[in-house]
Structure 1
Amino acid sequence: MARLVVSLAGPQEATLSEAELSARLLYRDALMLVLDKPAGIAVHKGPKGGENLEASFHHLRFGLPRNPALAHRLDRDTSGCLVLGRHHKALEKLGLLFKQGKIDKTYWAIVEGRPEEDQGLIDLPLGRLDESRGWWMKVDPKGQTAQTEWRILSEGSGLTLLALTPLTGRTHQLRVHCAARGWPILGDPIYGNRGPTQLQLHARTIEIPLYKNKEPVRVEARVPGHMRAALEAGGLTFED
C-alpha cells in the first residue's frame, strides 16, 4: 500500500508522491493512463475537501501541458484499475466508450456466504435510497436498469471469492447487488457488515477498445495487500 504524503499545496489534501504514483502506473500511451488505485483514498476532492488522488495528477503529465483527468470513478475504498485521459480529445473518446458500455471491467470481491449457483446474472434496478443519504442506493423496481454477471473463483470457510462483471455502471452497483442476493461484500460498512476489515472489492481487469483495427488494451491490477491477507485468512485460493 502506498504511503500518503501530505502536500503543502492546501489543507486537508493528501497526495501520493511522484515515485509512488510511478510505481502504481500500470499502462501509459499517448491517450490514456491506467493507475492501480490504492484503497482508502477518494479519486477526487469532495465538497468537504480531504485527501484525494486527483491532487497528485500533476506528477503524471509526462511532458504534456495539463494534468490528466479521470475517465471514470472508483469508490474511496475500492482498489484497482483506474483510467485517466491525458487530454481533452482522449477524455471525450474514453467517455463515449464508457457511456456505450464498450469497456469491459471485472472486479474481484470477497463476499460473506456463498451463492447457490457457480455463476449467474443479477438483474435488479437501482435507485437512490433517500435524499439524506447522498449516493447510497437501493434495489428499486422504478429505478435504473442494473445488471451484474458473477462467477465463483474460490470458496473457503464462510467466504467466497467472486469475479463480478458490471454490464451497467450504476453507483454502488456491485455492493448493492451482492447484498441484495444475500452475500454482501466483506467489510462493506453501508450495505453489509463492516467487521474487522475494510471493503474487499478490487477492480481487477479492464479492457478498452481504444484503437481501431487493434486488440483492446487489457490491463490487470494485482491483488492488494489488504485483500491478499483476507483471502489467505479465509482459506481462499487465488492466482495473481
Structure 2
Amino acid sequence: MIDEEIYSLEVERTPAKARLDAWLHDQFPEWSRSMIRRWIEAGAIRVDDQTTKPSHSLRVGQKVIIIPPPPSTMDLTPEPMELQILFEDEALLVLNKSPGCVVHPAAGHATGTLVHGVLHHCEGTLSGIGGVARPGVVHRLDQDTSGCLVMAKTDRAHKGLAEQFAQRSIHKQYLAIACAVPKCSEGRINAPIARHPNNRKTMAIVDHGRHAVTDYRTLQSFGAHASYLSLNLHTGRTHQIRVHLKHLGHPVFGDEVYGSKATHRLSSAIGHSPPRQQLHAWKLGFTHPITGESIEHVAAPPEDFQVTLESLAESSQIAVQALRS
C-alpha cells in the first residue's frame, strides 16, 4: 500500500497528555520524545498549519501535520535508470514503478533507488521539501508493490500535492490477487492500524491504532483458490491493503509477511509461486497543483502479475476477464 510521507491527525478528544510532544509519543510510541522535539523545532510538525513548540498545549479539533524529515547526511548521485513515465510536465511526473524498486534511500538501500533514477532523468531538479534523501517524494509504494507514483519537481507542486494527500482527496485504486475468495463480493474494511505490539517491523489491526478504511470489490474469482480484487484507499497507512486483506482472511498472494501460509497453500494448488506480493497501484487521480486540472493515470500491471492471473485462469479453466474501471 501505499505508505504516505505525510501524517495528518486531528485531536478528537481532550488528550490525557496535552503537550504536543507527549501526545505524539503516545500516537507513535516507536518515535522517541527527543526525535519528536527535534522535528517540532525544525518545523516538520505543525499544528493548524503553524509552527509551534514541543510544549504546545493541544485542544480538541486541532490538526497536527507531520512531514518526517530524512537524514541530513546523504549524498545523492543521479543514476541512469529505465523509467516508465506516464505523465510529465514542468511541475511533476507520474511513473509506473517497477516491482522490487525502492522509492528513496534508506537503511540497506543507499543507491539504485527510484529517486536516483528520477534525479538523473530530471538532471538533478526535484522538489527539495522531501529533504536530502527524498527529493521530490510526496508518497511511497512498498518495494514489492508496483504501479502509479507521483513525484514533484518543484516546491510549489510538492506543497500542493502534499496538501491533497493530507486532505485525502487523492484517488488511489489498487489491484490485488488475493488468496481464496471473500464471502461478500464487495465491502468496506474499517479497522485501525498500528505497529504490531510484538514485531515493530510489521503492522497489525490494533484497537488504539490509526483510522484506516479500504473498499474492495471482487473483479473475478478463480474457483475457491483465489480472487482478483479492486481496492480503493480512503486512508494511507503503512501496509494498509496488505494488513486489511489479512484481517479479511484473504491475504495478498505472494505476501510472505502477512500471508505466507495462505500463499504456500495456493502456490501448491496451482503450481505457481509469484516472485513478490501481487499488489499493483493501478490508478492515481489528483488535481494538478499548478493548473488545477483534474488528472488521472492508469498503470498497466507488470508481467509477473499477468503471469499469475494466467496461471490461476489455467488452473481453474477460466478466462481472465477484461479489466473495467
TM-score normalised by structure 1 residue count:
0.85
SS at match of 2:251: coil
1:116-169 Cα deviation digits (max 9, x unpaired) = 1111100000110147533x1000011111000000111113110000111011
2:304 is aligned to 226
Distance 1:143-1:225 versus aligned 2 partners, 3 A rule: same
Cα deviation, residue 210, structure 1? 2.0
Distance 1:190-1:218 versus aligned 2 partners, 3 A rule: same
Letter in 2 for 1:52: T
2:35 is aligned to none
Q: Which of 224, 229, 237 pairs up with 1:162?
A: 229
Distance 1:27-1:213 versus aligned 2 partners, 3 A rule: closer
Q: Are positions 1:35 and 2:113 aligned together? A: no
Cα deviation, residue 59, structure 1? 2.7
Tell me how far apart the structure 2 counterparts of residues 212 and 66 of structure 1 sit (CA, whole Å). 17
1:35-84 Cα deviation digits (max 9, x unpaired) = 0000012111112334321111223327xx62351111000000000110
What RMSD in Å do the two structures reach over aligned CA positions? Answer: 2.3
2:196 touches 2:204 (CA, 8 Å); kept in 1? yes
Tell me how far apart the structure 2 counterparts of residues 192 and 44 of structure 1 sit (CA, whole Å). 26
2:208 is aligned to 142
2:249 is aligned to 182
2:42 is aligned to none
Tell me how far apart the structure 1 counterparts of residues 292 and 126 of structure 2 sit (CA, whole Å). 27
Cα deviation, residue 208, structure 1? 0.6
2:78 touches 2:119 (CA, 8 Å); kept in 1? no
Q: Kindly, what percent of the aligned residue pairs are identical?
A: 32
Q: Are positions 1:75 and 2:134 aligned together? A: no
2:91 touches 2:290 (CA, 8 Å); kept in 1? no
How many residue pairs get aligned? The number is 222
Q: Are positions 1:56 and 2:117 aligned together? A: yes
Cα deviation, residue 205, structure 1? 0.3
1:10-47 Cα deviation digits (max 9, x unpaired) = 9xx99552xx22xx000112321000000012111112
Please, which runs of 5 or more residues in structure 1 have no aligned partner? 1-9
Tell which deviates more after alignment, 43-52 or 216-225: 43-52
Letter in 2 for 1:108: L
* Rg larger for: 2
2:217 touches 2:230 (CA, 8 Å); kept in 1? yes
Q: Are positions 1:152 and 2:211 aligned together? A: no
Distance 1:15-1:152 versus aligned 2 partners, 3 A rule: farther
Cα deviation, residue 223, structure 1? 1.5
